[in-house]
Structure 1
Amino acid sequence: MKAILTICLLVLSNSFMTLAWYGHLKFAEWKWFSKLGLIAIILISWGIALFEYLFQVPANRMGYSGNGGPFSLLQLKVIQEVITLVVFVGFTLLVFKTETFRVNHVIAFVLLILSVYFMFKK
């Protein structure tokens, strides 16, 4: 149960992280947003990123084997990186319609999934 909850929290965390890091690129299409200066955009991104940390910190604390969780630190990091890329691709394809998903991207994801497999192999 801790493993599933950890992964769910990491998905939520990475959703906010992706929005904070890349959302402003799409929000620039909004008239009122495009008039904001860089400092205002940074502050808005920080506000969004706060929610990232509200999910990420508990996920790592709960999931880490040193705190009674099911994952080693290395396993947590690899899981987080794969989740980050999956969330990012989903965000990119849904929000930025000009991006395309190609065969080389599929190959890269297969290799990432293999990295998770090898990370968990004893």
Structure 2
Amino acid sequence: MMTIGLLVASNLFMTFAWYGHLKYRDTALWQVILVAWGIAFFEYCLQVPANRIGYGMFTAAQLKIMQEVITLVVFAGFSVFYLGEQLRWNHAAAALCLVGAVYFVFMKP
């Protein structure tokens, strides 16, 4: 659970670093880049330990798939609640494809 919690927290930081500035289109690009770097630092402070702790319990492929699924779940919430965008049927279809990816990476060979 520690690995998953750290991955969720790191993805919250990274989502804000990459997309939070979209609400501030009038801010100079160099300024949003500097702010994004500052936010991304905290993402790395969580992501690296998550992978270090989780590796061995999970394979590298399993860690990566978990991270991608968490990223997209966090981003879906961010886009709805922060950016005010709507989720549509094709987003749900893409999520089902990710469930398939999780199934295949975690199934026993």
TM-score strictly above 0.5: yes
Mapped to 2, the partners of 1:51 and 1:8 lie a distance apart of 14
User: TM-score under structure 1 normalisation?
Assistant: 0.85
Identical-pair percentage:
56
CA offsets 1:36-62 (integer angstroms, 9 cap, x no match): 422121111000101100100000000
* Letter in structure 2 aligned against 1:72: T
Map 1:30-41 to 2 at 5 A: 34=26, 36-41=27-32
Q: Helix, strand or coil for the counterpart of 1:112?
A: helix
2:9 aligns with: 12
2:71 aligns with: 84
Please, which runs of 5 or more residues in structure 2 have no aligned partner? none
Mapped to 1, the partners of 2:73 and 2:51 lie a distance apart of 18
1:121 equivalent to 2:107? Answer yes
Aligned length: 108
1:47 equivalent to 2:44? Answer no
**More deviation, 9-18/38-47:** 38-47
2:52 aligns with: 61
Which structure has the greater CA radius of gyration?
Answer: 1
Kindly report the root-mean-square deviation, in angstroms, between the aligned alpha carbons of the 2 structures. 1.1
2:95 aligns with: 109
Mapped to 2, the partners of 1:7 and 1:114 lie a distance apart of 19
1:24 aligns with: 21
Shift of 1:92: 0.3
Shift of 1:114: 1.6
Q: Which ranges of 4 or more aligned residues in structure 1 deviate by more than 3 Å?
A: none
